[in-house]
Amino acid sequence: MFRANIAMVFRAFPDRRFVPADQPPMVALDGEHVGAPCRAITTFSGDMRGGPSRVALAGTNRHLDIFCLDLYEFRGTQICRWTAVNPEFELARQAGLLPNGSMLSFLVRAQRASAPILRRLASR
C-alpha cells in the first residue's frame, strides 16, 4: 500500500514538493512512534486513478498548499505502520472540486435539511 500510494502521489502531483510545517516533528516517549508534519505544495495536474485513493480524481491544474501529517510506527529500525493524515475536504476545495463562499453555505444548508431523511433511511 505504501508503494502504491507513493506512485499515485508522483503521478497525480508531478511537481510536488514537501516543505516543513510550522510544527516540529513529534516523537513519542516510547521511541517507536513519530509524527512528521509538512506542507505539500503542488499542482493537481495528474490522475489519481489506479492508486489507493477512494476517489479516482482527474487533475484540475489547480495549485494546492495542503497541510499533511504522516504517522510512523517503528519496530527496531523498520517502519511497521504508516498512516497519512490529509485534509481531504481542504484538498477538494483547493482543487476546485468543492465550491467556496455562498455556494458552499447553500450546500451545507441543503445537507442539514436532508439529514433527518438520510438518518431514517440508514436506520432501516
For the chain, the structural domain boundaries read: 2-98
2-98: CATH topology is Nuclear Transport Factor 2; Chain: A, (3.10.450)
CA angle 43, 5, 52 (to 5 degrees): 105
> 113 pLDDT band (50/70/90 cuts)?
very high
Q: How far is Cα 78 from Cα 69, in angstroms, rounded to an integer?
A: 19
Mean of pLDDT over the chain = 87
> How many angstroms separate the CA atoms of 124 and 90, rounded?
32
Give the DSSP letter of residue 15. Answer: T
Which of the four pLDDT bands, split at 50, 70 and 90, describes residue 80? Answer: very high
Closest-CA residue to 15 (of 44, 47, 51, 38): 44
Asked which of 62-66, 71-75, 82-86 is least confident by mean pLDDT, the reply is 82-86
